[in-house]
C-alpha cells in the first residue's frame, strides 16, 4: 500500500517553517495518541503515520531528500524510533505528554506539597500610593486542618503507601515502542492513600477559611507593583508548607493629577487677562498649595515645572516634578457691555505682532494650497 504524502499527513504546505510544522504534529499527536484512544486501531495507525512524517520533515537532511526523491529518498530512515539524529523528539514529546498526562516527566508528587500562591489586587488612591499606607484585607484561603494536622487522615490513623505506584505517584505505561509515565490513577499522584479520612476536612487536609491580614504599603508604589507576604498563601497538601500571598497594587485615577513614573501632571486653567498680562496663581500639589508665576504673554499649552513636587520613588532616587500645563480659557456668558469692550479691544490690535502664531499658520495654509 502506497504511503501518503508527508505534508498531506500533517496538513501543512511544502514551505512550512519549523515551529508551524511542530505545532501541526503536536496537534495530531495529542488527538490520536493511543493512550487517549485505547480501543481505536485507526487512531493508533494515524498516530504512527504522523510520527513518521514529522521524523522526516522535522530533520533538514531527511526533508531535502524527501523533497527531491519522495518516499524512495527516505525509506528505511523513518519510523525507526528516536535515534539517528532526527527531529527533537524529547522536546516535542515532552510537550505532548505534559498536556495529555498533566505534566508527565516532572517526577512523583507523593508526600508533602507546597501550597499555591495567591494574588490580591489592592486599589489605592494616588495619595495613599505616594505617601504609603497600612490596610487590612480579608482573603478566602485554604488552611491546614487542625483536626488531622493537615494529613487528611482521621486522628489516630495515617495515610498508607499506594499499592499501585508504591509511593511514586506515577506509573509507567508501555504502548508499542513508546514508554511514558502517567499520574497514578489510584492515588492521583499523591503516592499515598487514606482508608479512614478525617471527618472535618474529608481527607483533603485543608479547610476553607477567611483570614484578615494587615498589609503595609510603602510610599511611592505604582500600579503593577507587588508586595509578597511569605507563607500567607494556601496551605500545603499533606502537611507541606504554605504558599505566598502577592498583593498587587492598582492606583485609581485622580481628579487633578496624572502620574507618569515619578512625575505628576496637571492642567491649570487661566484667564485671557492673566495669560496676556501675567499673574501669580495658587496651584495644588500633594503637599498643599504653592505659588506659580505666570509670565506675561503666556500661550495656551505652556508647561511649567515645579521641581521636587512629584513622587519619591519606592525603589529610591530623587523625587520627581509636578508639571503644570496652562489652558487659556475663552470667557463665556458675556453681557452687551463686555462684548462691546472686546470689540473695541479687537479693533485696537493692529499689525501681526500681537498674534505670534497667526502669521506662521496662515503662511503654512497658503503654501499648502499652492502645492496642491
Residue list for the binding site for Zn(2+): 145, 148, 162, 165, 184, 187, 198, 201
Q: What is the DSSP letter of 114?
A: P
Q: What is the DSSP secondary-structure string of 174-230?
A: EETTEEEEEE-TTTTTSSEE-SSB-TTTTTSSEEEEEEEEEEEEPTT--TT-EEEET
Q: Which three cell numbers stand for residue 38?
A: 485505547
What are the Cα distances from residue 58, in Å, to 25, 46, 96, 122?
Answer: 10, 17, 16, 48
Check if the beta carbon of residue 220 is closer than 8 Å to that of residue 103. Answer: no
Q: Which three cell numbers stand for residue 86?
A: 532526527
Binding-site residues, in ranges, read 145, 148, 162, 165, 184, 187, 198, 201
In this structure, the strands spanning 263-271 and 322-329 are parallel
In this structure, the strands spanning 263-271 and 258-260 are antiparallel
Amino acid at each position: 500500500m502506497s504511503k501518503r504524502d508527508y505534508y498531506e499527513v500533517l496538513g501543512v504546505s511544502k514551505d512550512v517553517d519549523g515551529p508551524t510544522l511542530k505545532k501541526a504534529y503536536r496537534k495530531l499527536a495529542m488527538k490520536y495518541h493511543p493512550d487517549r484512544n485505547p480501543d481505536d486501531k485507526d487512531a493508533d495507525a494515524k498516530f504512527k503515520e504522523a510520527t513518521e512524517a514529522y521524523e522526516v520533515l522535522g530533520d533538514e537532511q531527511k526533508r531535502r531528500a524527501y523533497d527531491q526523491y519522495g518516499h524512495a529518498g527516505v525509506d528505511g530512515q523513518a519510523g525507526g524510533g528516536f535515534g539517528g539524529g532526527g527531529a527533537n523528539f524529547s522536546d516535542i514529546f515532552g510537550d505532548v505528554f505534559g498536556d495529555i498526562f498533566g505534566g508527565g516527566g516532572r517526577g512523583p508528587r507523593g508526600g508533602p506539597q507546597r501550597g499555591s500562591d495567591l494574588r490580591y489586587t489592592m486599589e489605592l488612591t494616588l495619595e495613599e500610593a505616594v505617601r504609603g499606607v497600612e490596610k487590612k484585607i480579608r482573603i478566602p484561603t485554604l488552611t491546614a486542618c487542625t483536626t488531622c494536622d493537615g494529613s487528611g487522615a482521621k486522628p489516630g490513623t495515617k495515610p498508607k503507601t499506594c499499592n499501585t505506584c508504591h509511593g511514586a505517584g506515577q506509573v509507567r505505561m508501555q504502548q508499542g515502542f513508546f514508554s511514558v509515565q502517567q499520574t497514578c490513577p489510584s492515588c492521583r499522584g499523591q503516592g499515598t492513600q487514606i482508608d479512614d479520612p478525617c471527618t472535618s476536612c474529608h481527607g483533603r487536609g485543608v479547610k476553607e477559611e477567611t483570614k484578615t491580614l494587615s498589609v503595609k504599603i510603602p510610599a511611592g508604589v505604582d500600579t503593577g507593583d507587588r508586595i509578597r507576604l511569605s507563607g500567607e498563601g494556601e496551605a500545603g497538601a499533606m502537611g507541606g508548607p504554605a504558599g505566598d500571598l502577592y498583593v498587587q497594587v492598582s492606583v485609581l485615577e485622580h481628579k487633578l493629577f496624572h502620574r507618569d513614573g515619578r512625575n505628576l501632571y496637571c492642567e491649570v486653567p487661566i484667564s485671557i487677562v492673566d495669560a496676556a498680562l501675567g499673574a501669580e496663581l495658587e496651584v495644588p500639589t500633594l503637599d498643599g498649595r504653592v505659588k506659580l508665576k505666570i509670565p506675561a504673554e503666556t500661550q495656551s499649552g505652556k508647561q511649567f515645572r515645579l521641581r521636587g513636587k512629584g513622587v519619591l520613588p519606592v525603589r529610591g532616587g530623587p523625587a520627581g516634578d509636578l508639571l503644570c500645563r496652562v489652558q487659556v480659557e475663552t470667557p463665556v456668558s458675556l453681557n452687551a457691555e463686555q462684548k462691546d469692550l472686546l470689540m473695541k479691544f479687537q479693533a485696537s490690535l493692529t499689525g501681526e505682532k500681537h498674534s505670534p502664531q497667526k502669521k506662521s499658520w496662515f503662511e503654512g495654509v497658503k503654501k499648502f494650497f499652492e502645492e496642491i
